[in-house]
């Protein structure tokens, strides 16, 4: 018998990404490079403070910090609805969207999982293969069984749209389907418009519930273009959920700011859903961050700051595009006849290389840290380290079987 009340508690194996970051920080290598974590940094390697956010912070000031309502800051909620769905979305005018401010995108997904576990129980949750690993964890925590639909063809290093559609057709009617509409993590490959429409049609036929996870709005093609799938699908087929994050596009990682939107059939239904979201929040953390909601709401609700912010997002996206193009160009120059053009078709924060685990672990010995999956954080690249990273990856591509 254990002598302690908690003597049988087992150790936590740790999150693979955070463990690798810890390993990186402990590594004494003088020229180590962190390509693990999804954080946008500038050429100087630092997380930028956006000028639009800085101005909003000056306006918010350091006055009183009351508790927010359970659902969050009202201006934030209205502004983030417009950002996700556009000014002319029919559900916006009809007040058919229940919106809550969340603790980051993860918090939005967690509350969504709790809400669905209560109001759509017993369903299987489908996520892309591969996906952000926490999709499984958040929904399993709520009691769901999770499984995968095909998304990435490892042989072709391309999307498997036919496999995705086949798997969604075969899924039990009314399943929950998590879809990343833009800047897919980890592959960087997104469905084109025709494929999006095909997925929406299968979802309609099978009466599936779509849970959109939009964590990188603005980092794909543009703020509005990146929301096209969400806007089109939700206008045609209510009954979907949308989780959004402002960690990346507002550079507010530590503020934990996100939103959850539930698109409903009627305004009264949306009111009821919002009430249930309030209940889930009350039983979890009671209310979200005052500062986070005020900053994002202030920027989005002010025409001049909104315009400035969009320009800053464009600049961050341009840096990612430049680093990706520079990486591909340098790898191609060194990798002989190895085709790495697939990396150019990816977009957003990550490059999904398909490099073998043994090669990835070998380059770590030289201070180059990327995930075992072969995912690279493009934002970790700079003009100072591009050549070194490209040389290491070119060697990996040359040594890998075709």
pLDDT digits (tens, 9 = 90+) for 128-155: 999 998 999 999 999 999 999 999 999 9
CA 18 and chain centroid, separation: 16
CA 123 and chain centroid, separation: 23
* pLDDT score recorded for residue 355: 86
Contact present, 85 and 113 (Cβ < 8 Å): no
- The chain-wide mean pLDDT, for the chain, equals 93
pLDDT cut 70: percent of the chain above it: 99
Tell the residue number behind the tokens 């996870």, with chain if given: 213
DSSP 65-84: -PPPPTT--HHHHHHHHHHH
pLDDT digits (tens, 9 = 90+) for 13-40: 888 888 888 888 888 888 889 998 889 9
pLDDT digits (tens, 9 = 90+) for 199-217: 999 999 999 999 999 999 9
Q: Which residue has the higher pLDDT, 402 or 226?
A: 226
Q: Which positions are annotated as active-site residues?
A: 132, 213, 248
Give me Rg for the CA atoms of the chain.
Answer: 22
- pTM to 2 decimals? 0.93
Q: Where are the domains of the chain?
A: 16-38+310-399, 52-301
Same fold, 16-38+310-399 and 52-301: no
Query: Does 401 have pLDDT greater than 70?
Result: no
Among 326, 179, 306, residue whose Cα is nearest residue 243: 179
Q: Which CATH number fits domain 16-38+310-399: 3.50.50.60, 3.30.470.20, 3.40.50.2000, 3.90.1150.10?
A: 3.90.1150.10
Please report, to the nearest 10 degrees, the dihedral formed by the alpha carbons of residues 103, 106, 107, 111 taken in order: 160
Least confidently predicted of 49-63, 231-245, 299-313: 49-63
Beta bridge mates, 126: 147, 177
Q: Which CATH number fits domain 52-301: 3.20.20.70, 3.40.190.10, 3.30.930.10, 3.40.640.10?
A: 3.40.640.10
For 248-271, b/e burial (b = at least 16 CB within 10 A) is bbbbbbebbbbbbbbbbeeeebbe
Among 105, 57, 71, residue whose Cα is nearest residue 249: 105
């Amino acid at each position: 018998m254990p002598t302690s009340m908690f003597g049988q508690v087992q150790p936590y194996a740790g999150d693979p990404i955070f463990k690798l970051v810890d390993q990186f920080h402990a590594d004494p290598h003088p020229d180590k490079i962190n390509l693990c974590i999804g954080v946008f940094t500038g050429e100087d390697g630092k997380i930028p403070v956006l000028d639009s956010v800085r101005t909003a912070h000056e306006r918010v000031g350091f006055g009183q910090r009351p508790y927010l309502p359970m659902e969050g800051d009202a201006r934030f909620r209205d502004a983030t609805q417009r950002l996700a769905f556009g000014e002319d979305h029919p559900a916006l005018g009809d007040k058919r969207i229940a919106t809550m401010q969340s603790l980051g995108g993860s918090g939005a997904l967690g509350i969504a999982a709790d809400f669905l576990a209560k109001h759509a129980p017993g369903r299987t949750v489908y996520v892309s293969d591969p996906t952000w690993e926490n999709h499984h964890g958040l929904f399993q925590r709520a009691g769901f069984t999770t499984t995968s639909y095909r998304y990435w063809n490892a042989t072709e290093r391309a999307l498997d749209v036919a496999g995705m559609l086949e798997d969604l057709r075969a899924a039990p009617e009314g399943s929950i389907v998590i879809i990343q509409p833009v800047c897919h993590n980890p592959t960087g490959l997104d469905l084109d418009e025709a494929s999006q429409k095909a997925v929406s049609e299968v979802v309609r036929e099978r009466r599936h519930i779509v849970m959109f996870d939009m964590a990188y709005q603005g980092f794909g093609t543009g703020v509005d273009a990146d929301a096209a799938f969400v806007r089109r699908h939700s206008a045609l087929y209510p009954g979907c959920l949308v989780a959004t994050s402002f960690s990346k596009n507002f550079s507010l990682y530590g503020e934990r700011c996100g939103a959850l939107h539930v698109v409903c059939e009627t305004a009264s239904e949306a009111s009821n859903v919002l009430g249930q979201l309030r209940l889930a929040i009350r039983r979890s953390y009671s209310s979200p961050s005052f500062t986070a909601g005020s900053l994002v709401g202030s920027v989005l609700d002010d025409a001049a700051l909104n315009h400035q912010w969009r320009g800053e997002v464009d600049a961050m996206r341009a840096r990612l595009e430049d680093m990706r193009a520079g990486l591909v160009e340098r790898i191609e120059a060194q990798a002989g006849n190895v085709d790495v053009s697939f990396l150019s078709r990816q977009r957003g924060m990550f490059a999904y290389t398909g490099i073998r685990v043994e090669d990835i672990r070998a380059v770590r010995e030289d201070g180059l840290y990327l995930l075992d999956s072969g995912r690279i954080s493009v934002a970790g690249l700079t003009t100072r380290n591009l050549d070194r990273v490209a040389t290491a990856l070119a060697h990996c591509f040359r040594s890998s079987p075709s």
